[in-house]
Chains A and B, each alone.
Chain A
Amino acid sequence: MSGQTLRQLAAVFQLEWKKTFRSRRGWWIYLLAAAPVGLMLLHWLIFSRPQLRLGRHSLGDDSMAYAALFQFFYLRGAIFFGCVGIFCNLFRGEMLEKTLHYYYMTPVRRELLVAGKYLAGLTVAVVVFVTSAALSFLFIGRHFGAAYSDYIWHGPGAAQLGWYMLITALACTGYGAVFLMAGLRYRNPMIPAAAVFVWENINPFLPALLQKVSVIYYLRSMLPVEVPIPPPFSVMVIDADPISPWISAPGLLAVAALLLAYTALSARQTEISYGE
């Protein structure tokens, strides 16, 4: 990669990450990320009181509660919708604001533009959601005091936290690539986003082969604590072959790279007329 290419990539990245971080349209994403942290803080404050803490629940219960929060709120909700908000807007938002031509009137290769925007979106998504997931994890058992510190530093806590952070980053990577493409290819990216949402959520009930055509399948296989689907839905779950994290992580990255390559090709063909 030449010096000029790197300068151009850095320029796109710099413009985009500032804009994405400061976007007024994105306030709900911060709220989505802050909500579980607030909840966990509340949990800590409430259960820090000796009169409430006694005999209510164990550290294992909190670990399981966090696993459920992560699987059902973060993965299937906050990160998914957060990525819709961040990545769909990278191109579609500029179309709506009639500012995309500023980029298209510069001698930047479209592939580079896609890469710069994606990296900026990914930085924002990873910072917001990894921070949120990590803080929630750290707060959920904080009321156990030294026992929780011991759980983190000398037990499985640190490894679990590492996996949750990695899964969050990979979720942002995968969903980011999907929604960047949707934002460029579709006039109304909410329609493909809704379709992906349904597909990801019915994933456990799909035939094993179809389960593999999703982001959530690869992410689930890396979860340090698996939370089973509760009854009565559990009877409809179809068990797919488990996949090693050492395959699922690179696999997810490869799929994201393929989607980005397709987005870059689409960006070359994209016309800008703002519908005038």
Chain B
Amino acid sequence: MSDSLITFGNVSRFYGEVLGINKVSLAIPPGITSLVGPNGAGKTTLMNLMTGLIRPTQGEIRVLGVAPDDPQKLCRIVGYCAQFDAFPKGLSGRQFIYSFLRLYGYSDAECDARTAASMERVSMTGAADRPVAAYSKGMRQRIKLAQAIAHDPRVIILDEPLNGLDPMARAETIDLFQEWGKNGRHVIVSSHILHEVDRISDQVILLSQGYVVAEGQIQGVRSEVKEQPMQIVVRCDRPGDLAARLFKEGHIVEAKIAADALLLRTKDADNFYLLLNRVILDSGLIVESVAPADDDVNAVYQYLIGAEGTTV
């Protein structure tokens, strides 16, 4: 089982006296996992620990059963796209990928084939022979992605991979992540763009000041925040009428009425949904939609940490 997981067992990492992460225990399954947290929350530390670039002060890490202090095994199954916009000087995109593939010991022909394939994956074939220094920010981001996936890793770790991408490239890149995730790879993504992370993630890990404050599927994480009332938006023809009936039955702590929508806050979502069904049937309301308004990462993050999600 642990050969298909990335596991952290009570891992702490200190930089001198500064806390990186503290007592983190995780088991990350295949799929897209997002690391979310403000600057200094420990996202990059967590990624660097997974890649073996830094070692834990205490605790144990295994990446699909491999210890990160064994780079000869680890680096064959892990690809890492760091947040830094830095490249070895004087290389074209093709040379950049090809040169580092040679360090895997592949033959020249295999390096050529893998270079071409990875550049194709990120739509960079046309610019392959231009110097990396002449690339736009988005192209540099994509060439880093190509380099990270060129050896076909089972675990892809991406630190702020959507930074600098234009909307089209961002959509294409997200499609790639989703494809990799569906193929059973581990895709670990950190991002500040919360609504995109929210949309693509199979699970999220929320970090704050070096601690994991929540983990799991975003809806599950939201439902664990018991003390925070859940927000639900109901679009219907008579929102005022619906609000009055729901208040009469209990389970509602707050209601806000707009033109054709009702924003409700409840501490007991399960019973609320049962009640809502009954009220709708009894009253004959025409309901267009019922949707949770705050089970996204942004809202959950606000509840857990008290920070503005958009500034994360």
Do A and B form a real pair? yes
Given A105-B51, A107-B72, CB of A12 within 8 Å of CB of B103 = yes
Cα(A18)–Cα(B88), bound, Å: 11
Among A3-11, A166-174, A217-225, the stretch in contact with B: A3-11
In angstroms, how far is the closest chain B Cβ from the Cβ of A121?
Answer: 15
Q: In the assembly, what is the distance between CA of A107 and CA of B103, in Å?
A: 7
Size class of the contact patch on chain A: 20 to 34
Are B86 and A105 within 8 A (Cβ)? Answer: no
Q: B100 at the A/B interface (Cβ < 8 Å)?
A: yes
Residue contact B15 to A104, C-beta cutoff 8 Å? no
Q: Are A272 and B103 in contact (CB under 8 A)?
A: no
| A103-B80 Cα distance, complex, nearest whole Å | 11
Contacting residues, chain A, for B80 (C-beta < 8 A): 101, 105
Asked if A276 CB lies within 8 Å of chain B CBs, one says yes
Instruction: Tell me the dominant secondary structure on chain A's binding face.
Output: helix
Chain B residues with CB under 8 A of A10: 102
A12-B103, A19-B89 in contact; A104/B71 too (CB < 8 A)? yes
Once the chains bind, are B54 and A271 in contact (CB under 8 Å)? yes
Return the contact of A106 from the options B55, B89, B100 (Cβ within 8 A): B100
Q: Report the bound CA distance from A98 to B89 in whole Å.
A: 12
Evaluate contact between B147 and A102: CB separation under 8 angstroms.
yes
Which residues on B sit within 8 Å (CB–CB) of A7? 102, 105-107
Q: Which listed residue, B75, B79, B84, B100, touches A98 by the CB 8 Å rule?
A: B84
| Chain B 185-208 interface residues, beta-carbon cutoff 8 Å to A | none
Interchain nearest-CB distance for B271 vs A (Å): 47
Which residues from chain A contact B102 at a C-beta distance below 8 Å?
7-8, 10-11, 14
Interface centre among B80, B100, B103, B147, by most chain A C-beta atoms within 10 angstroms, is B103
Q: Which of B18-41 contact A (CB under 8 A)?
A: none
Residues of A contacting B147 in the complex (Cβ-Cβ under 8 angstroms): 102
Cβ 8 A contact of A273, one of B15, B90, B106: B15
With A11-B103, A15-B88, A99-B87 known, 19 other A-B pairs at CB within 8 A are A7-B106, A8-B102, A10-B102, A12-B103, A14-B99, A23-B89, A98-B84, A101-B53, A102-B100, A104-B53, A105-B78, A106-B104, A107-B76, A107-B103, A107-B105, A271-B54, A272-B53, A273-B48, A273-B53
- A residues near B, CB below 8 A? 4-5, 7-8, 10-12, 14-15, 18-19, 22-23, 97-99, 101-110, 271-274, 276
